[in-house]
Amino acid sequence: MSNQKIFAYLKDIRFWIFLFFIARLYGIWFPPIDISHNWRQTTVTMVARNFLEIDPNPFYPRLDISGELTGITGMEFPLLNYLCYLLSLIFGYQHWYGRLIVLAVSSFGLFYFYKLLKSYFEEKVAFNASIVLLFSIWFTYSRKIMPDTFSLSLILFALWHALNYFKSLKSKHLLLYLLFLALGTLSKMPSAYLLILLIQPFLDRSLAPKNKVIFAASSIITLSVCLSWYYIWVPYLNETYKLKHFFMGKSMRIGAAELWQHMDQALNKFYEVALKFIAFAFFVFGLFKAVSNKNKHIAYILSLGFLGFLPIMLKGGFTFYHHSYYIIPFVPIMALVSGYGIAEIKNKIFAKVVLVCIGIEGTLNHIDDFVLRENYKPILTLEAAMDKVSKRDELTLINSGAYPTPLYFAHRKGWVAFNGQIQNPLFVDSLVQLGLKRIVVMKHVFGDDLLLPYKEVYNDSVFRIYNCTLKPE
């Protein structure tokens, strides 16, 4: 291969997206016991497995951490979960299908991000911004069994088709825009805030009033249907089936107070978590250059984007600065400004060095995504241990605190609780009245070994299992 062809590949964003798609296939088959957010991933896989084993109706998603209840609860529309279920129908159930789905969709999302930027900026800005986004927090969350980058990618697809509709007025682009808008919003409602960026192209005088009415009306109808899921159907499921799981936010006043009191943690999500330090430094530089160059496109996107994202921060409050993935919807906008800053470097070689350093920093900072949490590995044997002493339909209690991961790998339904709760006879007796049959004590992962006044039916170096309906002999 000639040097000319090699340089052509290196300048093609598709090469880098494909290269790191392949690289991140390493460990794609790992079970969801990652170092971070394994609990969030197992709440996705629970629902997918219950579609397969109990009821495939997507309007009634079920969790395992519901005790004696059905497990049906309100949550994001389970599109990702349902895709895992459909793959399970074909290939049999595996934990990791969601990883592959999210990685594939998010890789296409990166490419559409590049195409969107290339429509309005120089190619080097689009390329730089896409590299920044690739190695941002996107790097790790685009292979987790979580709907965040999955949903945002669907919204990027929607934006691309919206802009193409404005240019061509072809109905296929309008229909695809509405389809991806619906799927993206249903999968994760905050992702839809990016629609605020359509204000400027929508107001362009070259777009006929008739087409503006069609676009606006169809968008409102689609969003109304999506919002009815969150504000009508989710409350209905919560009230009817008595299990509230999904976080719908809090009042903005309370959220603002929480953010103000913990401003250092909230800001950390922008300068460290979102992009890491090198890319964030060029975000600041890009912002400075945009102001000095009077770049209206950058100013428009950043100001409108932040205006749209601010309510998400305020509704989140504690949750925003406590969980790293809440910053994800704003990261593409930060990546654009950072990419613009890198494009403003006069020395091309230095600009390339900066991109390489961003890639190295991003990869090294997210390398733990390819490593399983060592002290969680014994959890993988829990189902086999449980099968020796209990039936699948027997309700189980595990001392994993607020973490549902062990209950998922036990392949049981029931409760999770803290050690102190399990040592309280009144607490355990109240669950026995609801049908509790077994208590699992994980000796090392979540606390000390617990000696309880019930009949021990299993004991090894990792687990101690009790029949909580019988006293010791």
User: How confident is the model over 338-355, as pLDDT tens digits?
Assistant: 999 999 999 999 999 999
Q: How many other C-beta atoms lie within 10 A of the C-beta of residue 209?
A: 8
Could you give the number of structural domains in the chain? 2
User: How confident is the model over 379-400, as pLDDT tens digits?
Assistant: 999 999 999 999 999 999 999 8
The reply to whether 393 and 263 lie within a common domain is: no
The reply to whether 356 and 436 lie within a common domain is: no
Helical residues (DSSP H) of 64-194, grouped into ranges: 79-91, 97-118, 123-134, 138-141, 148-168, 171-187
**Residue 69: is its pLDDT beyond 60?**
yes
Task: Kindly state whether residue 472 falls inside one of the protein's structural domains.
Answer: no
Task: Kindly state whether residue 197 falls inside one of the protein's structural domains.
Answer: yes
The reply to whether 416 and 445 lie within a common domain is: yes
The domain boundary residue, chosen from 303, 334, 369: 369
d(C-alpha 311, C-alpha 442), whole Å: 41
Longest dimension (CA), the chain: 85
**Residue 112: is its pLDDT beyond 70?**
yes
Q: Contact at 8 Å (CB) between 441 and 399?
A: yes
What's the whole-number mean pLDDT along residues 87-112?
96
Residue range(s) defining the domain that contains residue 443: 374-467
Q: Which of 222, 97, 118, 98 is nearest to 163 (CA)?
A: 118
Query: pLDDT confidence of 247, banded at 50, 70, 90?
Result: confident
What's the whole-number mean pLDDT along residues 42-46?
94
The domain boundary residue, chosen from 341, 369, 397: 369
Q: What is the pLDDT of residue 377?
A: 87
**Residue 222: is its pLDDT beyond 90?**
yes
CA atoms within 13 A on the CB side of 330: 25
At 402, list the tokens: 């607020």
Contacts of 423-427 with CB under 8 Å at 24 or more apart are 423/450, 423/452, 425/453
The reply to whether 327 and 389 lie within a common domain is: no
Q: What is the pLDDT of residue 203?
A: 85
Could you tell me whether strands 463-467 and 395-398 are parallel, antiparallel, or unpaired per DSSP bridges? unpaired
CA pseudo-torsion sign 324, 109, 311, 135: positive
User: How confident is the model over 172-201, as pLDDT tens digits?
Assistant: 999 999 999 999 999 999 999 999 999 988
Q: What is the pLDDT of residue 335?
A: 97
d(C-alpha 111, C-alpha 335), whole Å: 14
The reply to whether 114 and 244 lie within a common domain is: yes
Residue 75 CB contacts under 8 Å (≥ 6 apart), including other chains: 47, 61, 234, 245, 246
The reply to whether 394 and 325 lie within a common domain is: no
Q: Report residue 263 CA to chain centroid gap.
A: 23
Query: pLDDT confidence of 232, banded at 50, 70, 90?
Result: very high
**Residue 324: is its pLDDT beyond 90?**
no
User: How confident is the model over 287-310, as pLDDT tens digits?
Assistant: 999 999 999 899 999 999 999 999
d(C-alpha 42, C-alpha 416), whole Å: 14
Q: What is the mean pLDDT of the chain?
A: 92
Q: Which of 187, 139, 178 is nearest to 159 (CA)?
A: 178
Task: Kindly state whether residue 384 falls inside one of the protein's structural domains.
Answer: yes
Task: Kindly state whether residue 36 falls inside one of the protein's structural domains.
Answer: yes
Residue percentage of the chain with pLDDT more than 90: 75
**Residue 472: is its pLDDT beyond 70?**
no
Q: Which of 32, 75, 68, 67 is nearest to 51 (CA)?
A: 75
The reply to whether 453 and 385 lie within a common domain is: yes
**Residue 473: is its pLDDT beyond 60?**
no
**Residue 360: is its pLDDT beyond 60?**
yes
Task: Kindly state whether residue 189 falls inside one of the protein's structural domains.
Answer: yes
At 251, list the tokens: 């009042």
Task: Kindly state whether residue 243 falls inside one of the protein's structural domains.
Answer: yes
Query: What backbone torsions phi and psi does residue 79 show, to the nearest 5 degrees?
Result: -65, -50
Q: How far is CA 23 from CA 137, 236, 328, in A?
A: 16, 43, 21
**Residue 3: is its pLDDT beyond 70?**
no
Residue 253 CB contacts under 8 Å (≥ 6 apart), including other chains: none
Task: Kindly state whether residue 313 falls inside one of the protein's structural domains.
Answer: yes
Q: Which of 268, 159, 257, 254 is nearest to 215 (CA)?
A: 159
Low-confidence winner among 132-146, 242-256, 379-393 (lowest mean pLDDT): 242-256
User: How confident is the model over 403-456, as pLDDT tens digits?
Assistant: 899 999 999 999 999 999 999 999 999 999 999 999 999 988 776 788 888 999
Burial of 334 by CB count in 10 Å (0-12 exposed, 13-18 middle, 19+ buried)? buried
SS (H, E, C) 314-329: HHHCHHHHHCHHHHHH
Q: Is 276 helix (H, G, I), strand (E, B) or coil?
A: coil
The reply to whether 323 and 385 lie within a common domain is: no
The domain boundary residue, chosen from 320, 351, 369: 369
Q: What is the pLDDT of residue 443?
A: 87
Task: Kindly state whether residue 38 falls inside one of the protein's structural domains.
Answer: yes
The reply to whether 120 and 28 lie within a common domain is: yes
Could you tell me whether strands 455-459 and 463-467 are parallel, antiparallel, or unpaired per DSSP bridges? antiparallel
The reply to whether 296 and 412 lie within a common domain is: no
Q: Which of 425, 427, 207 is nearest to 415 (CA)?
A: 427
**Residue 54: is its pLDDT beyond 70?**
yes
- Residues found in the chain: 473
Q: What is the pLDDT of residue 36?
A: 76
CA atoms within 13 A on the CB side of 410: 32
State which H helix or E strand residue 421 sits in.
helix 419-422
The reply to whether 313 and 418 lie within a common domain is: no
The reply to whether 52 and 178 lie within a common domain is: yes
